[in-house]
Structure 1
Amino acid sequence: MLAHPKKVIIVEGILIFEDPELRDLMDIKVFVDTDADERLMRRILRDTKERGRSVESVLAQYVNTVKPMHEQFVEPSKKHADIIIPRGGENTTGIHILQEHLKLILG
C-alpha cells in the first residue's frame, strides 16, 4: 500500500510491531492492551453471531491457536511500544493523553 505524506498516518494490526522496517518508520508506537477475558468474550460473541460458529469451536480454537500465538507473538511486541494503553477503549485517560499529543502534532 502506498501512503502519501501526512502529518499523521494511523496503522493498526495485532502484529504491526513485528516488522523492524515498519517499526522504524513509526514516530509513535501505541499498543492498546485489552484483558484476555475481554478479548475472549469479544471473540466468542463475534464468531458465534457473525460467523455462525459454535461456542465450543471458538473456545477450542482459542485454547489451541489464538492464546498460544498471542503469548508468543503479540504480547512480546509490547516492548516496542512507546505508549501502552491498558484496558483498551475503557481507558479514557490514556486515550485523552494520546488525543492531546495528536493535537500538538496536527497543530
Structure 2
Amino acid sequence: MMFKPLVIAIAGCSGSGKTTLARELCTQLEATLFALDLYYRDLSHLPFEARDKTNFDHPDSLE
C-alpha cells in the first residue's frame, strides 16, 4: 500500500520542548526528522566574536 507524504511542522519558543516532541514523534511514527539546524551556514571560519553577532533568525543565515 502506498502512503502519501505527510509534513508536520513544530513551532514554539526557545526551550518549549520542540526537539523532544519531534524526536518522540519520529520514534512513534517511524519518520525522518529534518532539523532546521542542519541548514545553517558554516561559520567556523569566523572568529568567535563575529559568530556571536550573527542573527540566526535572519533568512540569510540559512543555506
Q: TM-score, with normalisation over the residues of structure 1? A: 0.25
Higher strand share: 1
Q: Which has the larger radius of gyration?
A: 1
Greater relative contact order (Cα < 8 A, sep 6+): 1
